[in-house]
Amino acid sequence: IHAVKNLTKINRHKFEWGASQSQMFSQLKQLLITSPLFLDFSDDNYPVILTTDASEIGIGSTLQQNINDQIKNLYYHSQVLSSTQ
């Protein structure tokens, strides 16, 4: 995502969207609506697990629950950091 965002931000005239990019975008959409990436509803009877990660270029986190030995994804967050952050 960072590489694509960089292409769209600074070098707009160099960005190309072709058949290969469309195919990969469709695959990404399919992954996002299929388990285990699909988001579930929370269950108040189970504790919530917060996982975080950070690097020089971005931050990310997930909110999950372990329900009957199965990890359920409740929320994802990712953000590219600016140079001042």
Task: Tell me the pLDDT of the chain (85 aa) as tens digits.
Answer: 555 555 566 655 666 788 888 888 898 888 878 877 778 899 999 999 999 999 999 999 999 999 999 999 999 999 999 888 8
Structure letter (DSSP) for residue 81: P
Predicted pLDDT of residue 58: 94
So where are the chain's domains? Answer: 1-34, 38-85
Long-range contacts, 16-24 (Cβ 8 Å, 24+): none
22: which 2 tokens?
């469309």
pTM over 0.85: no
